[in-house]
Amino acid sequence: MELGLRDKIALVAGASKGLGKAIALGLAKEGAKVAICARHKDLLETTAHEIESILGSEVLPIKADVSISKEARKFVQKAVNYWGTVHILVTNAGGPPPAYFEETTEQMWEQAFHLTLMSALNMAWEAIPYMRKQKWGRIIAMTSISVKQPIGRLILSNSLRAAVVGWTKTLADEVAKDNILVNSVCPGYTLTQRVKVLAQNLAQEKNTQSKEIFKNWEEKIPLGRLASPEEIANLVVFLASERASYLTGNIIQVDGGYYRGLT
């Protein structure tokens, strides 16, 4: 299926590894011109070169910590200065640290607020004017299945990602008249480094091994396994495409059936 992404300008945050990297690669495979950002310059540039060597397409690496407002905005500004506009924005950032409520501090909440919510808002503030001008845009917010079904010991992530979903749902109404589509993608348990770290932390807390934590997760998923980053990326690429032209304001879980709710 031709997705109509050739030569579209796509910005993917948090893309040096994991889900962000898989999304950037997926968009580049469809012919999009991709700008990626992350905090660590060396890893970011390695990822850009890797995608370029596989596909022969240009990838623009921009070092940025999206939890810092001015850097999140500069990520978009630098990409626009280079390519002239932006068509697709994928907001994505590593999650806040695991903690129970009474283990958290005001500083932890402030950091989570900037990392998870404000990073998305700052990038969108910069990107939306270009999308309005060209009457075409896609904003895809990477959240988590925890917005549907909270996950234990992730109170920071559960709370702030829910705020992101509230924002995308409202924003979708505000920008629809300019053909800007806004959706949230909610991955379930996925084989990323962050999930491996979560498994290690849980294993220590429960005095067991990481493999037992993974086994427990797999038993709760009807498909019996965790997702690969590429499986999540496949949905994001579709939502970014011309073929998703009537999808906006959606909160879509990709979780192998883990979430049992009806809404």
Give tens-digit pLDDT for 181-205.
Answer: 999 999 999 999 889 998 998 999 8
Nearest residue to 242 (alpha-carbon basis) of 6, 1, 2, 4? 4
DSSP letters, 103-117, are G--HHHHHHHIIIII
Quick one: pLDDT at residue 195? 93
CA-to-CA distance for 59 and 37, rounded, in angstroms? 11
Amino acid sitting at position 88: I
Quick one: pLDDT at residue 50? 97
Rounded (to 5) percent helix, strand, coil in the chain: 55, 15, 30
CA-to-CA distance for 129 and 122, rounded, in angstroms? 13
Quick one: pLDDT at residue 26? 98
Nearest residue to 131 (alpha-carbon basis) of 76, 184, 53, 192? 76
Instruction: List the chain residues with pLDDT less than 50.
Output: none
Quick one: pLDDT at residue 263? 83
* Domains parsed from the chain with CATH numbers: 9-189+228-254 (3.40.50.720), 191-226 (no CATH)
pTM confidence score:
0.97
Quick one: pLDDT at residue 1? 83
Give, in degrees to the nearest 5, the angle at Cα 89 between 42 and 136.
145
Nearest residue to 95 (alpha-carbon basis) of 182, 30, 189? 189
Question: Treating both helix axes as pointing N-terminal to C-terminal, what angle do 18-29 and 41-55 enclose, rounded to 10 degrees?
Answer: 30
